[in-house]
Amino acid sequence: AQSVAQPEDQVNVAEGNPLTVKCTYSVSGNPYLFWYVQYPNRGLQFLLKYITGDNLVKGSYGFEAEFNKSQTSFHLKKPSALVSDSALYFCAVRDPRNSGNTPLVFGKGTRLSVIA
């Protein structure tokens, strides 16, 4: 069965410093991977996705993520954090080989706090 883990409930970073939000997954084959962000009292917003191709994926608001098959990871990164990046971040995975029977699975979420 597919699963995704976000090992950190909370990540704190100073404004201007690089940030990393970690995500690891478990899928039998090659996964489809997504990152979403949720601001307070809002629904989730799509940031980026990896379907195939280049392992480094660039997304919205200066975020990027690197697909690492050997480490089964898809960490979200940004070179310079902004206070406005403070939000709840979700990683999600889908197994394309079994997509008709299994839905998109979300991680528990990581709360990012950027301190001025």
Please state the φ and ψ torsions of residue 42, each to the nearest 5 degrees. Answer: -130, 165
Please identify which residue in 8, 66, 105, 111 interacts with another protein, judged by CB under 8 A. 105
Q: How many chain residues bind another protein (CB under 8 A)?
A: 25
**CB of 68 closer than 8 Å to CB of 74:** yes
Strands 110-115 and 10-14: parallel
State in angstroms the smallest separation of the CB of 107 from another protein: 7
Structure tokens at 68: 């690492």
* Closer residue to another protein (CB): 18 or 96: 96
Instruction: Check residue 10 for interaction with another protein (CB under 8 A).
Output: no
* Closer residue to another protein (CB): 5 or 15: 5
Please state the φ and ψ torsions of residue 10, each to the nearest 5 degrees. Answer: -140, 140
Please identify which residue in 16, 46, 55, 69 interacts with another protein, judged by CB under 8 A. 46
Helix (H) or strand (E) holding 114: strand 110-115
Per CB under 8 A, the segment of 16-24, 66-74, 75-83, 89-97 that binds another protein is: 89-97
Instruction: Check residue 58 for interaction with another protein (CB under 8 A).
Output: no
Structure tokens at 2: 């597919």
